[in-house]
Amino acid sequence: MKFCVVGAGFSGAVIARHLAEAGHTVLVVDERPHVGGNCHTERDAETGVMVHSYGPHIFHTADTRVWQYVQRFGVFRPYTNRVKAVSGGHVYSLPVNLLTINQFFGRCMGPKAARAFIDAKADKSIIQPASFEEQALGMIGPELYRAFFYGYTRKQWGIDPADLPASILKRLPLRFDYNDNYFNHPYQGMPEDGYTAVIKNILDVNGMEIRMNCSFEDCSDDFDHVFYTGPIDRYFNFRIGRLAYRTLDFERFVEEGDYQGSAVINYCDESVPYTRITEHKYFAPWEKEQFSKTVCFREYSRLAQKGDIPYYPVRLVNDEALINDYIGMAREEKKISFLGRLGTYRYLDMDVTIKEALHACDVIDHALHSPEFM
């Protein structure tokens, strides 16, 4: 059978490999000049540092199948994401942990005392938080919310936290010990040769054709089935409206030596226009000392306009209704399946993207053996 996979990010690569290994004819198209989707990494021409071109990416998962899968295609070095945050002219540790609490409130508390202290600040009247703001006030109280979340979130989402879903904040832990690992997952790492090398290896199967700089809309071939990992509203030519996305602008700058001493520093005050600065050589501590210069990205977030790269699905109430209508339209299409972050309009981490693509492979196998497929 002849398949087209639209998009050479993790979602597309996992599906394409599976189909090609099963002996099918597979064409992968991506309109970008490189594979890797938003996880793309490349060596910075001036400094030689491996940069995360579309923003910082740290691999973390609790899924053993996913962890084993990625390791077939690259060496993952141990890497712990330790984020710092600047607020009110001071530097703190994130996610909010015992050090953050003690530094911020000028205390010297142990875990039990800190828990009781924060508990006394948390708004107990909030039983079922309906928004980001309620989730924050019910969890950490007003001072930490204002210092670390209010301004950053307004910059990141362009919306008052009172109008954002609580789920966005639930991504982050609150800890009463000195553990400053940004993630809770048992498996965490950074690919030694970057994510693009991993995805190239996934796509390295005999018989698979990969066309870069090629949008699906310009592709006139016939296929038995298409796996589409691009924006779902774009596939339908925005027929019933555009889904809202945040896009990012990166301001690159180079310095001699080191710049900030950490891979990621968040700027939580609203008076600072960018959300964070990423210093890429800190993502590769095993080779960091080789580089005399350092390359950093200041990151700015804004609402995506026509032609901008879609990064974060906004998913407010209007978007929920629209995506449900698009999903209804997608179900009517018999020869196309939508997957991935853009195809399903969900904020998915890399591991979830891979997990869902592997699950799709299982479903494909099942369907290919049933007589009514396609």
Return the range that interacts with ligand FAD (CB under 6 A); candidates 18-26, 32-40, 169-177, 264-272: 32-40
The total of other beta-carbon atoms located within 10 Å of residue 362's CB is 10
Residues 63-70: contacts with CB within 8 Å, 24+ apart?
63/187, 63/351, 63/355, 64/187, 65/355, 65/358, 66/351, 66/354, 66/355, 66/358, 67/187, 67/351, 69/14, 69/354, 69/358, 70/191, 70/198, 70/354
Residues 2 to 61: which contact ligand UDP by CB under 6 A?
none
The 80-119 site mask, x for binding ligand UDP (CB under 6 A), equals: -----x--------x-------------------------
For the chain, helix, strand, coil in percent to 5 are 35, 20, 45
Cβ(1)–Cβ(25) below 8 Å: yes
* Contact of residue 50 among ligand FAD, ligand UDP, none (CB under 5-8 Å per partner type): none
Q: Which of 246, 312, 326, 345 is catalytic?
A: 246
Contact status: 348 vs ligand FAD (CB under 6 A): yes
Residue (of 260, 256, 210, 215) closest to 235 by Cα position: 215
The 138-157 site mask, x for binding ligand UDP (CB under 6 A), equals: ----------xx--xx--x-
255 labelled catalytic: no
* Contact of residue 313 among ligand FAD, ligand UDP, none (CB under 5-8 Å per partner type): none
154 labelled catalytic: no
Return the range that interacts with ligand UDP (CB under 6 A); candidates 62-70, 114-122, 163-171, 353-361: 163-171
349 labelled catalytic: yes
Q: What does the DSSP assignment read for 174-236? A: --SSS---S---SEEEEETT-HHHHHHHHT--TTEEEESS--GGG-----SEEEE-S-HHHHT
* Contact of residue 341 among ligand UDP, ligand FAD, none (CB under 5-8 Å per partner type): ligand FAD
CA 84, chain centre distance (Å): 19
Q: Which of 32, 175, 315, 341 is catalytic?
A: 175
Give the CA distances from residue 39 to residues 10, 11, 43, 129, 247, in Å, rounded to whole numbers and listed in that order: 8, 11, 14, 32, 15
Q: Please give the size of the binding site for ligand UDP, defined by CB under 6 A.
A: 13
CB of 27 to ligand UDP, least distance (A): 32
Measured from the CB atom, the residue of 194 and 230 that comes closer to ligand FAD is 230
Torsion, CA 277, CA 281, CA 282, CA 288, rounded to 10 = -160
Measured from the CB atom, the residue of 181 and 215 that comes closer to ligand UDP is 181
Contact status: 179 vs ligand FAD (CB under 6 A): no
The 226-265 site mask, x for binding ligand FAD (CB under 6 A), equals: ---xx---x-------------x-----------------
* Contact of residue 208 among ligand FAD, ligand UDP, none (CB under 5-8 Å per partner type): none
Measured from the CB atom, the residue of 134 and 319 that comes closer to ligand FAD is 319
Q: Which of 171, 239, 252, 302 is catalytic?
A: 171
Structure-token match 């016939």, residue found? 222
The phi-psi region of residue 362 (left if phi > 0; otherwise alpha if psi is between -120 and 50; otherwise beta) is: alpha
Cβ(348)–Cβ(171) below 8 Å: no
Contact status: 302 vs ligand UDP (CB under 6 A): no
Give the CA distances from residue 147 to residues 151, 180, 188, in Å, rounded to whole numbers and listed in that order: 8, 18, 28
Residues 340, 345, 360, 364: which binds ligand FAD (CB under 6 A)?
340
Residues that bind ligand UDP (CB under 6 A): 85, 94, 148-149, 152-153, 156, 168-169, 171-172, 266, 268
Residues that bind ligand FAD (CB under 6 A): 6-12, 29-32, 37-39, 55-58, 215-217, 229-230, 234, 248, 311-312, 340-342, 348-351, 353
